[in-house]
Structure 1
Amino acid sequence: MNMTRLLLTPIKTSEQLLERFLFFRRGLVVGLFALLTLGLIWQASQIRPDASFVKMIPSDHPYVNNFLQYRDDLAGLGNSVRISVEATEGDIFSAEFQDTLRQVTDEVFFIPGVDRSALKSIWTPNVRWTEVTEEGFVGGPVIPQTYDGSPDSLEQVRINILRSGQVGRLVANDFKSAIIQVPLFDRHPQTGEKLDYQQFSHQLEALIRDKYERAGIAVHITGFAKIVGDLIDGATQVALFFAIAFVVTLVLLYLYSGSVMGTLIPLACSVVAVIWQLGLLNLLGYGLDPYSMLVPFLVFAIAVSHGVQIVNTITLESAQGADRRLAAQRAFRAIFIPGLIALLSDGIGFVTLRVIEIEVIQDLAVAASVGVAVIILTNLLLLPVLMSYAGVGQRAINRARNSFDREHSYWSVLTVFTCRRGAATALMVAGGLAVVGFVLSSDLKIGDLDTGAPELRADSRYNLDNKFITENYSTSSDTFVVMVKTGEEQCSSFETLTLVDQFQHSLKNVAGVQSSISLADVSERVTAGLNEGSLKWRSVSRNQMVINASLAYVPAGLMNASCSLLPVIIFLDDHRADTLLRVTEAIEVFASEHNSEQIQFLMAAGNAGFEAATNEVISVAQYEMLFWVYGVVSLLCLLTFRSIKTVFCIIAPLALTSLLCQALMAQLGIGVKVATLPVIALGVGIGVDYGIYIYSKLNTYLVQGYSLSDAYLETLKSTGKSVAFTGLTLAIGVVLWVFSPIRFQADMGVLLTFMFIWNMLGALILLPALACLLHSKKKEPVHVVQ
């Protein structure tokens, strides 16, 4: 108890000092806020989209550490783009098509950010064919130097492609399209700055698709950079949804408050909070990646929630005869401590997202925390000062005076939950929902549950391009790379290649694996070629001299310069969570049985390998995050109300909403991944505001001697009404996101709408029911520092 007083007394003292400063230096306060806002508007205008391949993966995960350690030896197996040029009429063996493919290859070569040394297409010299003749090995580039577009040279290209082993890889199985493999640097090679994925995506569209796609030619582009570019383009439409939500909130807030100033000033302060957030993020060196572009709207929503509480309190004080300044002061006095505790709970709850070791989520945590911090300034401090000048207007005051008796009838319905029978009924229903939620949430999966890019719509251009490549090539766009580490010059030994060959054979029985390729495949194919193509010889020779001869011409990327590392590239049907789990488990079993000091099978590179690492981090972090967010919020509520029972009253509805949200995700086929994991923390952070405001007001009336039913009725007529309005208004605002072209934004819209409504219902129904049963034998109300 003494410790609690010690911690909360400074908050109470700061409230008194702030009140004197704010309302006796109003002109100075408004002037300071205006100057800061002008400066931060400039900073906010400079903020740019910020996406990075490394930010999307868990940099401390063993898989990623292995990749980063050997990334220089894994050319083209990290961040890359695949461009498929399709002949929609005929096949690729025409002079016109080959000329187009050559031009596209040359065009891509000069785009900044491309790793030119590892670029591959049948037109690059690093893609070769080999053949065994009576005179020994002969070979050369797939496109010979004598190529002139004539029928004879095109026939030679056909023969070279068949001899190169690139059918199904760089050339489609039906010979109607060809791929350009485009590895990327993470930073611009000239400037050293992070690669701008939006700009790179636009360059691909302008320089490749728009320029070369025409009658008879189609272009398909896949890869991480293209996904991110499309996400940023789609996520910029959040500005449109923000504008719609602003208008909806404006109309509903005016209908609720009946005051022009009581509508415009809270919305203006909420917009200022968003401006400050964006400006401060730019000052701190942060940008907005596709997953944090929705955070400004959430900041706006939280700010509106607190603004409504302040304006509602000012209206009620004005209806009781207080002038503008006195009403604003009283509202500040009533709202500051519960509002501060609620916002601290929000902010610290968002900070807990940093326990997830994925940089994009950690950046989102910073963005949300900064946004909540500025709300304390713009809505708890600036808003009351501005309202002390403007007031709510006589119309709103008269309506508030006339509404007390009129509202008594329909708000009194909810007081049934403060009686034992009604409370018991509410808790039984909540318990039933909890059981249903627990059962249904057991089906919740980690990671992506759909093929292609689940962040985008199934009918998006990207997913249609991905579908085309998957259906027409033997090698899908979902690659899982195992790094086989050996001693120096040992990657081509008989023992190594035999074990790698055995490893690849074991993968054939794993569901979801299409095929694989490694140095062992090259050796087997060439050895068979040395022996008249006999399939009997298509194996790893026991003669090391034969092995060395078979590896005279190794395609780039299948071994490093010191022959101490060879990648096994595994092509998967998709990167769904179940597929990745089966593959990683099979590899772990094989590695545990065969790893030694001489050879080690290390995971993982490739987009599917990084996805597997991300899934492992999220599967652990989701529970750690929930522990921290609920722990922090519970601790702050305990310090405020000094009662474990009260904390339970506030937290239990939030926990039920989180459980039901997980059940909803499972039923809608939404997996727990980078895009959706933060939603639960954000929902808890916003929902706790409702509970703190309602319980603070309820406690005020209990301290005055009201019975629980009467105290709750008075709470409903003031704070409860504001909570109901805010919950419904915010839900209406975010439900519009379901129309977004970005799938994950639509998913977030559904989940946040659900959480806004259920948190509101939990605060209005379940909280008083818990208070009734837990505090029924207490004669004294729970006290909070006032």
Structure 2
Amino acid sequence: MFVKSLEKFLFKQRAIVIGVFTAITLVLGYQASNIHLDASFNKNIPLNHEYMKTYVKHSDDFGGANSIYISVCDKNGDIFNPEFFESLKSVHDQLFFIPGVNRTLVSSLYSPSTRFIEVVEDGFAGGPVIPADFNADKAGLQKVKQNIEKAGLIGRMVADDYSCAMVSSQLLETNPETGEKLDSIALAQQLETEVREKFENDKISIHIIGFAKMIGDVASGAKDVVLFFAVAIVITALMVWIFIRSTVLTILPIACSIMAVIWQLGMLNSLGFGLDPMSILVPFLVFAIGVSHGVQMINSIGKRVHEGFSAKQACSASFCTLLIPGGIALMSDTVGFLTLLTIDIGIIKELAITASLGVAVIIFTNLFLMPVLASYIDFDKRFKALPADSHDHLWEKMSRVTKPKNTAIILVITALLYGFGWMKSQEMKIGDMKAGAPSLHEDSRYNQDTFLITDRYAISTDILKVIVEIHDDNLDDDIAYDCTSHATMDLIDQFQWRLSNVQGVQSAISLSTVAKVVNTGYNEGNLKWRSLPRNSSSLVQSTARIETSTGLLNRNCSVMPIILFLEDHKAETIERVISSIKAAKAEMETEQVKFLLASGAAGVMAATNEAVEAAQVPMLWYVYGAVIILCLISFRSVKATIAVVLPLFVVSTLAQALMTYLEIGLTVSTMPVIALGVGIGVDYGIYILSTMIGELRKGNTLTHSYFLALKERGSAVLFTGLTLAIGVSTWAFSALKFQVDMGVLLTFMFLVNMLGAVIILPALASVLWRKEK
């Protein structure tokens, strides 16, 4: 009754409806033109995770994880020449003045805090590694080299082979000049133009890594997404024309789907959101889903025209026929995407909003507006003359899957595939599977810079910090007591030693490490004395000169980090190290000394991996729960719901197995793909089954009902699955590795979900509706 009333209103006021949609599109189109790429470090981390609470609490004392590293290298392999030190100083100064860089933490050989200490006859001597009167002549360079060795900077601030030197700093969350959130993409561009392009020459090479630089490179590669979008539109348009053989009807679903994307981007900008480079593929998915529903509408209209309906009658009848199944399918998609809001990571929440908005507007652009626009089309004689039964022989063969023998074979194969997929999916790793930035290709400039820095320095940029907090009610906040306790320092030293022997830990450092070195110096440099003093006065002597700027202690020495340098940030490496830390923590932690996870870049990754792992199963429950509830409301049948949902579940499991095979870890950027795949796949099943059930209720046999469903919907389902798979398969040529991976996964989901709807679904129906055979 409601559908009929809505149909009468829409088709009686067609001009008003078109005018309203046009006005909305113009307004939202203007808003969409102002949307910008928006990337933030904090959006990518679970701020409410236990580790991140520790990270935020101590970030002022020990810095955050949003760092930038610039390795300045001499192409001849020897930094001790005037040209190199001039370039190094220039890079240091340039980085210092870039807005958003934490200037107090800019570190290099030219930093005043970069000092050396040595044992001399009269006690200790020391000073800046590069003295104030430094002159880059032979004597001056030799002096700096000696100071570097005395300060123990080889492998940390200077490459093992003296070919490079490091300039590093941490980034602020806000730009101090504007007071606004730091634009990581703009900062990455500044690093390119004001550092790399300015100082790289035939003698000096510049290598830059860090979250901001990685996001900048991803954003640069993401610009090609527009090209792939255009290619996908052309491919889709060509395929639609081959399917329909009508230029006007080809343009219609394409135009309405593009309109849905414009509405989506316009509303995002109106709500104050930007478009994150990691979710820039979502508009294409909205376009793809829109085309899928648009082709169903055009196909239905064509069928009515073949039956002798006028254009307006055909469009009106198609609207009434498809509003409920199409609306339920799109509502399932929307609610399924909204369930991603339960995952407490900013970028996934934004993706949920982006995807759900886009899918929701398809209900209006493709189910409401499209039939109204199509009602004005004068269908030519050639279109009307196309035989309505041209594919009946194919549909007749496909309908045989409902025969008992064929059903048994299909369900056995499906069960075997599911069993295989489930076993492989258990091997899927949580986190990155490869070194470097997984979003970029291995041969990208960013990853090559990462590999060079990892290879030439003894420490890595994958840092994990265990924060040691001392809790003692007798301590005075203004006096440093904890460094004077041998028991406390020895416990930290044992904890560090245990972790430094874990596979995947390259090296480790803490206040106890430096204290032992200083104690050696107080004893004529004899290595036999490289141990922690057992009395408080000696401990004070060993730690008093260690400044808070080293990042090894806070103001009153009540908090001290143990810094672990990991070989890489692969999922298995982080998981192994975190497990070892938890085991050591359980054995060694006391009421006074607490070992807290975690800070540093690898600590953030560990928290993110745990958040993703914790959210993985609930997310699937929420997505499938939403689909099940809407299917029950739509079909009012448990059997129908099982027939739609079960193939989706099999395909989701096989997609996880494919991720394992392709070495794609479950991360912030890949986890939503499973939910998106369910949303895309449910459409096929709902369209096929809604027609089947309608025919069953008329008294047809199940086999004939499926034949009629294929006749009505089969062409559109097969066409959209194939067309969209071809469209995303072009992503194999993308400059972004994660887009290549998404292209493979989506191609798989488009095709296999389509096959599940036309093969597994009717086979299940044959079992569920046995009496109707």
Offset of 1:208 from its aligned partner?
1.0
* Alignment partner, residue 34 of structure 2: 46
* Alignment partner, residue 608 of structure 1: 602
Distance 1:392 1:749, change over 3 A: farther
Task: Answer yes or no: is the 8 Å Cα contact 1:170–1:179 preserved in 2.
Answer: yes
Select which of 121, 126, 150 maps to 1:139: 126
Offset of 1:90 from its aligned partner?
4.1
Task: Answer yes or no: is the 8 Å Cα contact 1:281–1:287 preserved in 2.
Answer: yes
State the SS of the aligned residue for 2:58: helix
State the SS of the aligned residue for 2:770: coil
Offset of 1:214 from its aligned partner?
1.0
* Alignment partner, residue 418 of structure 2: 434
- Counterpart AA for 2:723: T
Select which of 102, 109, 119 maps to 1:115: 102
The yes-or-no answer on 1:409 pairing with 2:393 is: yes
* Alignment partner, residue 474 of structure 1: 458
- Counterpart AA for 1:302: I
Offset of 1:596 from its aligned partner?
2.5
- Counterpart AA for 1:62: E
- Counterpart AA for 1:443: E
C-alpha distance after superposition, 1:722-769 (max 9, x if no partner): 000000001001111111111111111000100110000000011111
* Alignment partner, residue 18 of structure 2: 30
**Following TM superposition, where does structure 1 have runs of at least 4 consecutive aligned residues deviating by more than 6 angstroms?**
none
Task: Answer yes or no: is the 8 Å Cα contact 1:64–1:605 preserved in 2.
Answer: yes
* Alignment partner, residue 782 of structure 1: none
State the SS of the aligned residue for 1:539: coil
Select which of 545, 552, 561 maps to 1:553: 545
State the SS of the aligned residue for 1:777: helix
Offset of 1:16 from its aligned partner?
2.7
* Alignment partner, residue 130 of structure 1: 117
State the SS of the aligned residue for 1:554: coil
C-alpha distance after superposition, 1:422-464 (max 9, x if no partner): 1111111111111111222222111111111111111111111
Taking the aligned partners of 2:362 and 2:488, their CA distance within structure 1 comes to 61
* Alignment partner, residue 642 of structure 1: 636
Task: Answer yes or no: is the 8 Å Cα contact 2:702–2:772 preserved in 1.
Answer: no
* Alignment partner, residue 178 of structure 1: 165
* Alignment partner, residue 138 of structure 2: 151
Single out whichever of 542-551 and 314-323 deviates more from structure 2.
542-551
Offset of 1:706 from its aligned partner?
2.0
Task: Answer yes or no: is the 8 Å Cα contact 1:261–1:391 preserved in 2.
Answer: no
State the SS of the aligned residue for 2:483: coil
Task: Answer yes or no: is the 8 Å Cα contact 1:319–1:398 preserved in 2.
Answer: yes
Task: Answer yes or no: is the 8 Å Cα contact 2:65–2:604 preserved in 1.
Answer: no
Alignment gaps of 5+ in structure 2: 472-476
Distance 1:392 1:430, change over 3 A: farther
Task: Answer yes or no: is the 8 Å Cα contact 1:259–1:395 preserved in 2.
Answer: no
State the SS of the aligned residue for 1:238: helix
Offset of 1:160 from its aligned partner?
1.1
C-alpha distance after superposition, 1:15-73 (max 9, x if no partner): 23321221111111111111111111111111111111111111111000111111111
Select which of 297, 309, 318 maps to 1:331: 318
C-alpha distance after superposition, 1:241-280 (max 9, x if no partner): 1000000000000110111121101110000000000000
Distance 1:391 1:356, change over 3 A: farther
- Counterpart AA for 2:13: R
Alignment gaps of 5+ in structure 1: 1-11, 780-786
C-alpha distance after superposition, 1:676-703 (max 9, x if no partner): 1111100000100000001111122222
Task: Answer yes or no: is the 8 Å Cα contact 1:687–1:759 preserved in 2.
Answer: yes
* Alignment partner, residue 751 of structure 2: 757
Select which of 260, 264, 269 maps to 1:273: 260
Distance 1:542 1:718, change over 3 A: same
Offset of 1:140 from its aligned partner?
1.5
* Alignment partner, residue 19 of structure 1: 7
Taking the aligned partners of 2:714 and 2:555, their CA distance within structure 1 comes to 70
Taking the aligned partners of 2:545 and 2:130, their CA distance within structure 1 comes to 17
* Alignment partner, residue 776 of structure 1: 770
- Counterpart AA for 2:679: G
Taking the aligned partners of 1:502 and 1:69, their CA distance within structure 2 comes to 25
* Alignment partner, residue 220 of structure 1: 207
Task: Answer yes or no: is the 8 Å Cα contact 1:262–1:392 preserved in 2.
Answer: no
* Alignment partner, residue 697 of structure 2: 703
Task: Answer yes or no: is the 8 Å Cα contact 1:85–1:178 preserved in 2.
Answer: yes
Offset of 1:391 from its aligned partner?
4.6
Matches within 5 A, 1:364-513: 364-399=351-386, 402-404=387-389, 406-487=390-471, 488=477, 489-493=480-484, 494-513=486-505
Distance 1:491 1:471, change over 3 A: farther
Offset of 1:562 from its aligned partner?
2.5
Taking the aligned partners of 1:430 and 1:414, their CA distance within structure 2 comes to 17
The yes-or-no answer on 1:518 pairing with 2:510 is: yes
- Counterpart AA for 1:44: A
* Alignment partner, residue 621 of structure 2: 627
* Alignment partner, residue 661 of structure 1: 655
Offset of 1:392 from its aligned partner?
4.3
TM-score by length of 1: 0.96
Task: Answer yes or no: is the 8 Å Cα contact 2:77–2:162 preserved in 1.
Answer: no
- Counterpart AA for 2:542: S
* Alignment partner, residue 474 of structure 2: none
Task: Answer yes or no: is the 8 Å Cα contact 2:100–2:176 preserved in 1.
Answer: yes
Taking the aligned partners of 2:744 and 2:383, their CA distance within structure 1 comes to 34
State the SS of the aligned residue for 1:194: coil
Offset of 1:490 from its aligned partner?
3.6
Task: Answer yes or no: is the 8 Å Cα contact 2:119–2:525 preserved in 1.
Answer: no
Taking the aligned partners of 2:121 and 2:540, their CA distance within structure 1 comes to 19
* Alignment partner, residue 578 of structure 2: 584
Identity of aligned residues (%): 48
Task: Answer yes or no: is the 8 Å Cα contact 1:491–1:566 preserved in 2.
Answer: no
Offset of 1:134 from its aligned partner?
2.8
State the SS of the aligned residue for 1:389: coil
Offset of 1:228 from its aligned partner?
0.8
Taking the aligned partners of 2:378 and 2:152, their CA distance within structure 1 comes to 78
Offset of 1:357 from its aligned partner?
1.3
- Counterpart AA for 2:613: S
Taking the aligned partners of 2:268 and 2:533, their CA distance within structure 1 comes to 60
Taking the aligned partners of 1:392 and 1:526, their CA distance within structure 2 comes to 90
Taking the aligned partners of 1:107 and 1:380, their CA distance within structure 2 comes to 56
- Counterpart AA for 1:64: M
Taking the aligned partners of 2:380 and 2:748, their CA distance within structure 1 comes to 35
Offset of 1:704 from its aligned partner?
2.4
Task: Answer yes or no: is the 8 Å Cα contact 1:146–1:153 preserved in 2.
Answer: no
* Alignment partner, residue 557 of structure 2: 563
Give the count of matched residue pairs: 763
Taking the aligned partners of 2:378 and 2:682, their CA distance within structure 1 comes to 29
Taking the aligned partners of 1:31 and 1:119, their CA distance within structure 2 comes to 58
State the SS of the aligned residue for 2:562: strand
Taking the aligned partners of 2:123 and 2:27, their CA distance within structure 1 comes to 74
- Counterpart AA for 1:457: H
Select which of 716, 723, 726 maps to 1:729: 723
Taking the aligned partners of 2:278 and 2:250, their CA distance within structure 1 comes to 30
- Counterpart AA for 1:721: S
Taking the aligned partners of 1:308 and 1:462, their CA distance within structure 2 comes to 42
Taking the aligned partners of 1:154 and 1:552, their CA distance within structure 2 comes to 30
TM-score by length of 2: 0.97
Offset of 1:778 from its aligned partner?
5.1
C-alpha distance after superposition, 1:622-680 (max 9, x if no partner): 11111111111011101111111111110111011011111111111111111111111
Distance 1:575 1:98, change over 3 A: same
Taking the aligned partners of 2:620 and 2:610, their CA distance within structure 1 comes to 16
* Alignment partner, residue 313 of structure 1: 300
